[in-house]
Structure 1
Amino acid sequence: MKAALLVMDLQNGIVSRFGGTQTVLAPFLNAVEAARQHNIPVIFVRVGFREGYPEVSPRNKSFASVLESGGMTITDASTQIHEAFGRRPSEPIVTKYRVSAFAGSTLETILRAQQIDTLILSGIATSGVVLSTVREAADKDYALTVLSDACLDMDPDVHRVLIEKVFPRQAHVVTVDQWIDSLQHA
């Protein structure tokens, strides 16, 4: 099995909603560093749109507001991967146009090209990109691990229910430290 770590929506405009502090980012940074040390590919996923928003439907409740408020273009500072990660040139940034990391993106092409069959998932928000990606990846027969403390949600109760009750039906759910420990004993 060949794994990749997906770091989803850790972009400036989303990280800032959670304070963007080192404390908030620590589990994500630890996961990225462990992946790098164990030669596990790191793939950053972000949401962003082209100028003029051709991808945004006014019927889409999640994204229609961007038509009025602006921002969120692929060149906007809010859609850039947070600088704390020190993204390396070999670590692709996949741009998606909906909630799931697969939606309208090149993610599946990259995974196939790299023969990746196992995904380690982290991201903001647990009830958004993580949930949608878990569901779609499971339907695509990827082996899945969700890093419980490298997922954040504005609603702690929703986060807890997803981590404790929903995700375990389709993924192995562990903390970043548990995952790192498993890598050291593999």
Structure 2
Amino acid sequence: MKAALVIIDVQNGWLDMSSGLKRSVEERLGYMREAVSLFRAAGAPVIFTYHACPALGLEPGGKGFELHPGLAAAEADGKVVKDQMNAFNGTDLERIVRERGCDTVVLMGLSATQCVLATYYGAFDKSLSPYLVRDAVCSAKEENVQLAERLCDTLSLKALSQILGNDGNKLVGHGDNYAPAAEGRA
């Protein structure tokens, strides 16, 4: 298994439209940053998707199109602009994943029961194995996060660290008790 991390649509515009979604992202930002750090430390691919929706002011170059300030795409990261919920539809996401030698996608971002879930199931159509990062999927409604995590295979940050060949024992806590050290929870 060689995995690519796909961060879905964590853009300012979506968060400005929904206080519930913004709250959800803020609560999970530490997990998202830690997942990105784990993939980068392992030299594994990181790919950001951006949902373009000009009718809502989400278009390249606009403030709403930009990533949440707590996440930053590096120069080496893949970047995919999409206009559908499933990030594989009408984009080169599959090509980017395959060119990086991956057969697995690990997803996080928003929204749990829309773009994340659509992309999760879309991965099967591309013969890719999908997973969600536990505690790194967001929604305006917490019950939607819980639903997505029940429907989909999820991986804890410790499991991701071990799969990527990092030393999972250096993480604070373990399994269901893990919390990013930056968040001050153990």
- The TM tier, using the shorter chain, reads 0.7 to 0.9
Counterpart of 2:14? Answer: 14
Counterpart of 2:161? Answer: 180
Following superposition, the deviation at residue 13 of structure 1 comes to 1.5
1:44 partner SS = strand
Work out which of the residue numbers 41, 49, 67 in structure 2 matches 1:45: 49
Summarize deviations over 1:54-89 as a string: whole Å, max 9, x none. xxxxxxxxxxxx2xxx41112211111223223211
Following superposition, the deviation at residue 177 of structure 1 comes to 3.6
Following superposition, the deviation at residue 20 of structure 1 comes to 8.1
Summarize deviations over 1:113-172 as a string: whole Å, max 9, x none. 2222111111111101110001110122111221120101112222212211x21xxxx3
TM-score by length of 2: 0.78
Could you tell which deviates more after superposition, 103-112 or 90-99? 103-112
Q: Structure 1: state its 5+ residue gaps.
A: 54-65
Q: What do you get for the CA RMSD once the two structures are aligned?
A: 2.2
1:84 partner SS = coil
Following superposition, the deviation at residue 104 of structure 1 comes to 1.7
Following superposition, the deviation at residue 181 of structure 1 comes to 4.3
Counterpart of 1:59? Answer: none
Aligned-pair identity in percent equals: 25
Q: CA 1:20 to 1:93, structure 2 compared with 1: closer, same or farther past 3 Å?
A: farther
Contact 1:44 1:81 in 2 (8 A): no
Q: CA 1:173 to 1:19, structure 2 compared with 1: closer, same or farther past 3 Å?
A: closer
Counterpart of 1:78? Answer: 64
Q: CA 1:83 to 1:163, structure 2 compared with 1: closer, same or farther past 3 Å?
A: same
Q: CA 1:21 to 1:7, structure 2 compared with 1: closer, same or farther past 3 Å?
A: closer
Could you tell which deviates more after superposition, 176-185 or 1-10? 176-185
Q: Which AA in structure 2 matches 1:158?
A: N
Distance in 1, matches of 2:72 and 2:146, equals 30
Counterpart of 2:110? Answer: 124
Counterpart of 1:102? Answer: 88
Counterpart of 1:89? Answer: 75
Q: CA 1:82 to 1:25, structure 2 compared with 1: closer, same or farther past 3 Å?
A: same
Q: Which AA in structure 2 matches 1:8?
A: I
Distance in 1, matches of 2:76 and 2:163, equals 24
Following superposition, the deviation at residue 21 of structure 1 comes to 7.0
Distance in 2, matches of 1:154 and 1:21, equals 9
TM-score by length of 1: 0.78
Following superposition, the deviation at residue 19 of structure 1 comes to 3.9
Q: Which AA in structure 2 matches 1:29?
A: R
Q: Which AA in structure 2 matches 1:154?
A: A
Counterpart of 1:58? Answer: none
Could you tell which deviates more after superposition, 131-140 or 8-17? 8-17
